[in-house]
Structure 1
């Protein structure tokens, strides 16, 4: 039974609206700042209304960039970030699916040991193992390359664990029926497990895409060629100019543009993302 309490409903909506305003206000300020001229911020006052330089600032960042920052045009950096995010997300999901499938449905020596060895790597983030990882990548001559940007980050213990937990909930009768019909392991994986995992894959893709898009430390370490700079690195360089005031209008324009791909991914995959997180059997 749902109780009708107008005061409680009003207070709930008021709290939600205030929360949205608090979260959205910095984004609004960034959008407003990206439409203004750079000298409008030297006084320390932040305007709250849009300015006339929107097209100029955004076209400048996408086409030519800011030469004094040492960063290439934003279009190239966003392309690099997009490649990195897609390869990391798709690679993590593919490897995790196969790893979980092998651990759950195959009987081989030290199967549980293999799972726990994967699971324990959750305690070893990139920051902990970054020096030996960098040495391996450097010895393989993968610095300043898309392979070096993506492959060291492509394994995921978290995704493997989540897919393993889901595969354990799949009834054994499905596997037995597939075996009776003459389906081999990979056909069972492709025709039964993958369709059942669709919502899990969508939810993980959103999370892993944003994870890859927001990477800063690893690209900063292995890229010295500006052709491989990512957008997060570019924004940092724009905001850290030497001997001059940062051009906050183009910094904010870059931040707004960098925010668009993750936002679009979340919007277009929102239904599957929410479904993959809230379904009880997953």
Structure 2
């Protein structure tokens, strides 16, 4: 194999370093731009080293507000996006694990029919059902609310399928042993299934959190008030067709702050994420 020779090791490391540079340089350049004044950014070329306006720019964006989005501070956008991302991730996991638990461990009429109905919804993305969903949100008065941002997105056929496939691998002897010990459905779910599923839950949480954090189309439709904008929507509104009308230093600050939470989630949960993809812990 290539990694067994010194030359192969050097080549592998060179490729990895090149890949890191290609991926990380745009992020670094964005950070550099976020530490310079607007005049410096508009007068190319942009320096490759950070400037002296780090504290001023980040303070202005976080607490002072951005003009093109109604003076809303970025910390409000971060709070909104965090609530939406957590709500979508936790809601999808709860609904999916409960539905998979019912399909696998309970016997009731049309059980598999319901599963296939859930599975078929994979063919119906948000864009297909967006008009009727928006009409329902309007009728329920959920425009410009966290519920309106979260509830239509918390059902997940993919997560249900993944939990179902995992539950099907649990030995029947374990279920029988729990029944002999007098464990009811709730105790079996809480004391046995949840501990066994924790790595799967962690892996899905990372994926679903990033999915909720990067949502654009649905938040764009269901929010009219700038105070309820997510950070992705705000970034789009902050950019004007004319460079002179865009506060690029604040745009760069917002872009940097927008990528920090997903990166933290991936870094902090990397171990669980990998184990959830390759281990079953049974």
TM range (shorter): over 0.9
Contact 1:103 1:112 in 2 (8 A): yes
Contact 1:71 1:238 in 2 (8 A): no
1:110 is aligned to 110
Contact 2:88 2:151 in 1 (8 A): yes
Give the Cα–Cα distance (whole angstroms) in 2 for the partners of residues 242 and 76 of structure 1.
26
- 271-280 or 154-163, larger mean C-alpha shift: 271-280
Contact 2:3 2:12 in 1 (8 A): no
Contact 2:2 2:8 in 1 (8 A): no
How far did residue 243 of structure 1 move?
Answer: 8.4
Give unpaired runs (5+ residues) of structure 2.
Answer: none
Give the Cα–Cα distance (whole angstroms) in 2 for the partners of residues 280 and 224 of structure 1.
44
User: Cα deviation per residue 1:179-204 (whole Å; 9 max; x = unaligned)?
Assistant: 00111111101100000000000000
User: Cα deviation per residue 1:90-120 (whole Å; 9 max; x = unaligned)?
Assistant: 0000000000000001111111111111111
2:7 is aligned to 7
- Provide the alpha-carbon RMSD of the alignment: 1.7
TM-score (norm 1): 0.96
- Taking the TM superposition and a 5 Å limit, the aligned residue runs for 1:120-269 are 120-240=120-240, 244-269=244-269
Give the Cα–Cα distance (whole angstroms) in 1 for the partners of residues 63 and 216 of structure 2.
23
Number of equivalent positions: 282
Contact 1:31 1:256 in 2 (8 A): yes
Give the Cα–Cα distance (whole angstroms) in 1 for the partners of residues 200 and 71 of structure 2.
37
How far did residue 240 of structure 1 move?
Answer: 2.7
Give the Cα–Cα distance (whole angstroms) in 2 for the partners of residues 3 and 103 of structure 1.
46
- Taking the TM superposition and a 5 Å limit, the aligned residue runs for 1:15-164 are 15-70=15-70, 72-164=72-164
Matched, 1:273 2:273: yes
User: Cα deviation per residue 1:20-50 (whole Å; 9 max; x = unaligned)?
Assistant: 1000010000000000001112234222111
TM-score (norm 2): 0.96
How far did residue 68 of structure 1 move?
Answer: 3.5
Give the Cα–Cα distance (whole angstroms) in 2 for the partners of residues 164 and 226 of structure 1.
40
Distance of aligned partners of 1:127 and 1:240 in 2 relative to their CA distance in 1, 3 Å threshold: farther
How far did residue 124 of structure 1 move?
Answer: 1.1
Distance of aligned partners of 1:242 and 1:219 in 2 relative to their CA distance in 1, 3 Å threshold: farther
Contact 2:69 2:226 in 1 (8 A): no
Give unpaired runs (5+ residues) of structure 1.
Answer: none
Distance of aligned partners of 1:243 and 1:25 in 2 relative to their CA distance in 1, 3 Å threshold: closer
How far did residue 242 of structure 1 move?
Answer: 6.5
How far did residue 4 of structure 1 move?
Answer: 3.0
Give the Cα–Cα distance (whole angstroms) in 2 for the partners of residues 2 and 25 of structure 1.
27
